[in-house]
Amino acid sequence: MSLTVLNDDNFSQEVITSGVPVMVDFYATWCGPCKALTPIVEKLAKEFSGKLKVGKLNIDDAPQTPAQFAVRGVPTVIFFKGGKAVDSLVGLRKESELRSRIEQLIAG
């Protein structure tokens, strides 16, 4: 499964009404830590394909959605289940930490 490109127009359809848990990476093209996080997010998207939808949202191209979820810095990863934000991480994180959060999300 590839990453889902998210924006203000498709966010509700792709994330809020998703039948599976969703991990959204809020990023910016000018953000160094965001660039470092991208390969980790892509790897986890492949690893959890079918169990988890993974999306990326560029905060500069889609300003309404980050404001709705109080995203104050990038990268921010927000985990959604049943249409609700249930967990979040701010800043560059290790793959193991993201994997652990994903496993909890899927199990819970």
> Catalytic residue positions?
31, 34
Per DSSP, the residues of 85-103 read EEEEEES---HHHHHHHHH
User: Using the 8-state DSSP alphabet, how is residue 2 labeled?
Assistant: P
Nearest alpha carbon to residue 5 among 78, 84, 65, 58: 58
